[in-house]
Amino acid sequence: MTAECCIQGSRPKHDIADIFRHFGQRFLETFGSSHEQIKVMNRIISCRTAALGGHIDCCPDCDYQQNTYNSCRNRHCPKCQTMTKEKWLDSRVFELLPATYYHLVFTLPHDLNPVILCNMKPLLDLLFSSVNQTIKQFAADPQWRLQGKPGFIAVLHTWSQTILDHFHLHCLVPGGVLSEDNTQWTPSKKNYLFRTTSMVKAFKGIYIKGLKQL
């Protein structure tokens, strides 16, 4: 079981539609797939092509017109979700606190994958509750010089970048805590929140204890 911490990062961009066009059929013949997954793949391949038809975009000021192919509007399509994502991010900027933010990742070992796949709800619920308990425990511990109530957003990821089972929780944590009466903000150090090795040990102990109880 691991926990990782970073302040920022990046990943390469790929055109998924091109990957599906070139390798999709070979993948399906080798591994097979569900009807819903095949449907999503075909929608992404057809996105913004003549297969879905088109429309005319017209500027009301200069009367300039441009032919545009229709989007598939599938929630898995990166082309369709880019603008929605950017609008969502712009809205979230106004909610940010004037603090450093930390990206914590809590990962379960792959040895547990067969057990998790047969008991998804209880074991993933346990992942959320264990992470919640770990972060709150560290925020209240005097040795980290915060001693208050933390806030964080947690997002579950179940796949790796290679589309293999990989259960982990991404947490966005502001660098600071609120006092118990919600009247005072205590900031953390600008480049340091909690010791990663200590969090790993605490998270591991909490999760294994819950696993044994289940």
What would the pLDDT profile of 114-168 be if each residue is shown by its tens digit? 999 999 999 999 999 999 999 999 999 998 889 999 999 999 999 887 778 999 9
Q: Which residues contact 140 (CB under 8 A, 6 or more apart)?
A: 146, 147, 148
Digit-coded pLDDT (tens) for 10-65: 344 558 889 999 999 999 889 888 888 899 999 999 998 989 899 898 988 888 99
Nearest to 74 by CA among 48, 55, 50: 48
Nearest to 50 by CA among 68, 38, 75, 77: 68
- pLDDT band of residue 1 (cuts 50, 70, 90) is low
Nearest to 149 by CA among 157, 139, 158: 139
Fold classification of 2-10+98-213 is Gyrase A; domain 2 (3.30.1360)
CB 196 within 8 A of CB 105: no
Mean pLDDT, range 78-98, rounded to an integer: 83
**Domain map (residue ranges) of the chain:** 2-10+98-213, 33-92
pLDDT of residue 2: 63
